[in-house]
Amino acid sequence: MLEDTDATIEDVYTSFGDDIGALVEGHTEKHKENPWEKRKEEALAHLAKADAREQKLVLADKLANMRAIVRDDAKYGEDLWQRFKRGKDIQSWYYHAAVQAMSDLEFDAEAVPFYKEFEDKVNQVFGYEE
Task: Return all residues near 63 (Cβ < 8 A) that are at least 6 apart.
Answer: 114, 117, 118, 121
Residue-level pLDDT at 32: 78
Mean pLDDT over 68-90 rounds to 93
Which of helix, strand or coil describes residue 30? Answer: coil
Residue-level pLDDT at 55: 95
Mean pLDDT over 51-77 rounds to 95
pLDDT exceeds 90 at position 4: no
Alpha helix positions (H), 1-130: 9-26, 36-49, 52-76, 88-101, 112-126
pLDDT exceeds 70 at position 88: yes
Long-range pairs, 1-4, Cβ under 8 A, ≥24:
1/27, 1/28, 1/57, 1/58, 1/61, 2/28, 3/28, 3/29, 3/32
Residue type, 90: I
pTM for the whole structure: 0.87
- More confident position, 6 or 110: 110
Q: How far is CA 126 from the centre of its chain?
A: 15
Mean pLDDT over 84-107 rounds to 95
Residue-level pLDDT at 25: 84
- Other beta carbons within 10 angstroms of residue 40's beta carbon come to 19
Whole-angstrom distance, CA of residue 45 vs CA of residue 63: 19
Residue-level pLDDT at 33: 84
